[in-house]
Amino acid sequence: MRVLIAKDYEKISREAAQIVYELVRRKPNCVLGLATGSTPLGLYRELVKMHKEEGLDFSNVKTFNLDEYYGLSPEHPQSYRYFMNENLFKGLNIKMENTMVPDGSVKIGELEQYCRRYEELIKQAGGIDLQVLGIGGDGHIAFNEPGSSLGSRTRLVALDENTIEDNSRFFDSSADVPRFALSMGVATILEAKEIIFLATGAKKADVVAKALEGPVTSMITASALQLHPKVTAILDEDASDSLSRVAFYRFAADAEQKAGARLF
Ligand code: GLP
Tens digit of each residue's pLDDT (9 = 90 or more) over 45-80: 999 999 999 999 999 999 999 999 999 999 999 999
* 134-159 confidence digits (pLDDT tens): 999 999 999 999 999 999 999 999 99
pLDDT at 169: 93
Radius of gyration of the CA atoms of the chain, in A: 17
Give the distance (Å) from ligand 1 centre to CA of residue 132. 11
Indicate the residue type of 26.
R
Pocket probe mutation, ligand 1, options 34, 159, 166, 182, max atoms within 8 Å of Cβ: 166
Judge if the beta carbon of residue 163 lies within 6 A of ligand 1: yes
Judge if the beta carbon of residue 136 lies within 6 A of ligand 1: yes
pLDDT at 167: 94
pLDDT at 147: 98
Judge if the beta carbon of residue 42 lies within 6 A of ligand 1: no
pLDDT at 188: 98
pLDDT at 232: 98
Quick check: 30 and 61 in contact, CB under 8 A?
yes
List active site positions: 67, 138, 140, 145
pLDDT at 204: 98
Per the DSSP assignment, residues forming a β-bridge with 99 are 63
Task: List the 180-183 sheet strands across, edge first.
Answer: 67-69, 180-183, 155-158
Instruction: State pTM to two decimals.
Output: 0.98
Judge if the beta carbon of residue 142 lies within 6 A of ligand 1: yes
**C-alpha distances in Å from residue 37, one per residue of 29, 63, 137, 221, 250:** 25, 16, 12, 17, 27
**C-alpha distances in Å from residue 219, one per residue of 28, 230, 233:** 37, 22, 20
- How far apart CA 204 and CA 234 sit, in angstroms, is 13
* 181-231 confidence digits (pLDDT tens): 999 999 999 999 999 999 999 999 999 999 999 999 999 999 999 999 999
pLDDT at 180: 98
The two beta strands, 194-199 and 130-133, are parallel
